[in-house]
């Protein structure tokens, strides 16, 4: 009896260990290059609009891939998809490292990395649901969530140290560590029954074209790119209304509360992601800090604070309600950005404190957005709805990074707008911070207006 009980328990623990490894490196891959963007810009003599594509390229395929892998898990089985994702991710890493001196190769490698890394968040949750006993799933999800938060936290510190003391190109090789999980996943994951179903390839292509050209518009501001993007999305919307198994369920678009929650939540996440991508440029231009100092001293404390704030936010939602936590989170974000805009020339360590509160406010807001979006869905819509929330969040984070890169390059906001005595070199950063505040406040008011009548949510 002891043997029959201990063996499955040991197998469950082993599966969980390797899922944690994959989860850690998926978010580390997303965060680790952010702090090196100014170094990459200097090496290639590129403007931020082009350089930020190092992150944007990854986020595009990562967001689309997350949705694709989730839909394919029933048709192809999670084992094959996991192995495919790991191999593609490692392949992209090697291509990027070998060809890092050629900018187009670097961007291509990040596209490939995102395609592979997308398998990890999409399939980890499915694997937990299928392999971990029901009574242990809560602990498993909690452990994976903590590992993800830790990966987000240490990413900037690791990235800054390696980029400063070695070279940023070596950061591209970090995801190759995931190759060690392959033999264990082959052994531990079982062969699964497949569910035959149509897959909406045309929908994925149309949406991807629309996304890529919109991103190109945000970095170059060519109207032709915007027109192509608009037409692609228009055809995509018409397509999903007729497709038998559409990539995005058009019925979700009729749920106004859900749509507003997803869009406004994604816009807030994108604004913060854009700000975080701007911090390395800002710290180098205004305070002349090196990459290691930016990663470890400026960004690292903020990313690590997510673990604490996430726990506090969950407790407050249960005790005080979502509206209370939403208002606190949005107020923290708005005040933090206003202080940053007015005191950008103060000691650089003020930005360390500001980032702690920015990530804290973001953590509160993410908790609430997930709660209110899930509460606006019917039981049968929860799976598709929450997948769409994750997809849009990743996508709009990439969009925010691209837009901020464009604003730093075209310098439309490089003029004095604040009635304070600041150096001319800070005008651009201060004005972008004020723009971010405006976006956040508008999104906040829209969410409140839509959800204030629903006691079921708040």
Asked if 85 and 118 count as a contact pair (C-beta separation under 8 A), the reply is yes
CATH code reported for the domain at 249-458? 1.20.1250.20
pLDDT at 353: 92
The pLDDT of residue 40 is: 92
d(CA 282, CA 354): 14
Mean pLDDT of 16-42: 82
For residues 281 and 180, give the distance between their C-alpha atoms in angstroms, rounded to a whole number.
35
pLDDT in tens, 248-290: 778 777 788 888 888 888 899 999 989 998 999 999 888 888 8
Cα dist. 435→154, 193, 407, 432, 439 in Å?
Answer: 29, 51, 11, 5, 6
- What gap in Å lies between CA 415 and CA 424, rounded to an integer? 8
Q: Is the pLDDT of residue 5 over 60?
A: no
- Opening angle at CA 368, ends 282 and 307, nearest 5: 60
Q: Does 1-198 carry CATH code 1.10.287.3510?
A: no
pTM of the entire predicted model: 0.82
Predicted confidence band at 417 (pLDDT cuts at 50, 70, 90)? low
Residue of higher predicted confidence among 422 and 144: 144
Q: Which two tokens stand for residue 330?
A: 């949005």
Domain ranges in the chain? 1-198, 200-244, 249-458
Cα–Cα distance between 163 and 393 in angstroms, integer?
Answer: 28
DSSP state of 292: H
What are the tens digits of pLDDT across the range 90-116? 999 999 999 999 999 999 999 999 999
Cβ count near 14 (within 10 Å): 15
Burial code (b: 16+ CB inside 10 Å, e: under 16) for 185-219 equals: beebbeeeeeeeeeebeebbebbbbbbbbbbbbbb
Taking the C-alpha atoms of residue 197 and residue 153, their distance in angstroms, rounded to an integer, is 39
Measured CA to CA in angstroms, residue 190 lies from 19, 68, 131, 137, 432 at distances of 15, 21, 9, 19, 51
Q: What is the mean pLDDT of the chain?
A: 82
Q: Judge whether 1-198 and 249-458 match in fold.
A: yes
Apex 271 CA angle, 353 and 290, nearest 5: 50
More confident: 25 or 117: 117
Give start and end residues of each alpha helix (H) in 32-52: 37-44, 48-51
Highest mean pLDDT of the ranges 7-11, 100-104, 149-153, 316-320: 100-104
pLDDT at 4 over 50: no
If you average pLDDT over each of 94-108, 312-326, 397-411, which comes out highest? Answer: 94-108
- Over residues 47-66, the pLDDT tens digits come to 888 888 998 889 888 888 88
Write down the pLDDT at residue 448.
84
Higher pLDDT, 129 or 351: 351
Residues 6+ positions from 56 with CB-CB distance below 8 Å: 215, 219, 398, 399, 401, 402, 405
Angle between helix axes 256-287 and 37-44 (nearest 10 degrees) is: 60
* 8 band by pLDDT with thresholds 50, 70 and 90: very low
What's the CA gap between 178 and 180, in Å, rounded? 5
Q: What is the pLDDT of residues 180-208, one digit of tens each?
A: 888 887 887 776 666 566 677 888 888 88
Which range of 97-101, 342-346, 374-378, 446-450 scores highest in mean pLDDT? It is 97-101
Q: DSSP letter at 134?
A: G
Q: What are phi and psi of 89, to 5 degrees?
A: -60, -45
Alpha carbons 342 and 328: distance in angstroms, whole number: 21
- How does residue 72 score in pLDDT terms, banded at 50, 70 and 90? confident
Mean pLDDT of 17-38: 81
Q: Each residue of 135-177: pLDDT tens digit? A: 676 667 667 767 777 777 788 888 888 888 899 999 999 889 8
Token couple for 4: 């029959």
């Amino acid at each position: 009896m002891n043997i029959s009980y201990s063996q499955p328990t040991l197998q469950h623990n082993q599966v969980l260990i390797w899922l944690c490894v994959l989860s850690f490196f998926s978010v580390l891959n997303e965060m680790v290059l952010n702090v090196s963007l100014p170094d990459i810009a200097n090496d290639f003599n590129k403007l931020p609009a082009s350089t930020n594509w190092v992150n944007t390229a990854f986020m595009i395929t990562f967001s689309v891939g997350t949705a694709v892998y989730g839909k394919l898990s029933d048709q192809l089985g999670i084992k094959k998809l996991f192995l495919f994702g790991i191999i593609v991710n490692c392949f992209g890493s090697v291509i990027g490292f070998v060809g890092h001196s050629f900018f187009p190769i670097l961007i291509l490698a990040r596209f490939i990395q995102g395609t592979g890394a997308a398998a990890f968040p999409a399939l980890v949750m499915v694997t937990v649901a299928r392999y971990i006993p029901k009574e242990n799933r809560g602990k498993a999800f909690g452990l994976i969530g903590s590992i993800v938060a830790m990966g987000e936290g240490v990413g900037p510190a690791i990235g800054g140290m390696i980029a400063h003391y070695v070279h940023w190109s070596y950061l591209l090789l970090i995801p190759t560590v995931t190759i060690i999980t392959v033999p264990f996943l082959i052994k531990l994951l079982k062969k699964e029954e497949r569910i035959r179903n149509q897959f909406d390839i045309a929908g994925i292509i149309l949406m991807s074209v629309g996304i890529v050209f919109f991103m190109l518009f945000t970095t170059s501001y060519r109207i032709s790119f915007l027109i192509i993007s608009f037409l692609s999305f228009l055809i995509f919307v018409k397509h999903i209304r007729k497709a038998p198994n559409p990539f995005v369920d058009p019925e979700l678009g009729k749920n106004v509360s859900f749509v507003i929650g997803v869009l406004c939540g994604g816009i807030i996440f994108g604004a913060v992601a854009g700000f975080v991508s701007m911090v390395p440029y800002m710290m180098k231009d205004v305070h002349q800090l090196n990459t290691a100092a930016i990663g470890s001293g400026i960004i690292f404390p903020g990313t690590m604070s997510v673990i604490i704030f996430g726990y506090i936010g969950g407790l407050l939602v249960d005790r005080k309600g979502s509206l209370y936590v939403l208002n606190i989170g949005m107020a923290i974000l708005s005040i933090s950005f206003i202080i940053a805009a007015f005191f950008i020339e103060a000691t650089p360590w003020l930005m360390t404190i500001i980032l702690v509160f920015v990530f804290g406010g973001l953590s509160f807001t993410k908790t609430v957005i997930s709660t209110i979006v899930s509460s606006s869905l019917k039981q049968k819509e929860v799976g598709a709805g929450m997948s769409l929330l994750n997809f849009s969040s990743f996508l709009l984070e990439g969009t925010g990074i691209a837009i901020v890169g464009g604003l730093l390059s075209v310098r439309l906001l490089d003029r004095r707008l604040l009635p304070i005595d600041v150096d001319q070199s800070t005008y651009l950063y201060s004005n972008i911070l004020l723009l971010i505040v405006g976006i956040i406040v508008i999104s906040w008011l829209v969410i409140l207006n839509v959800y204030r009548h629903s006691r079921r949510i708040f």
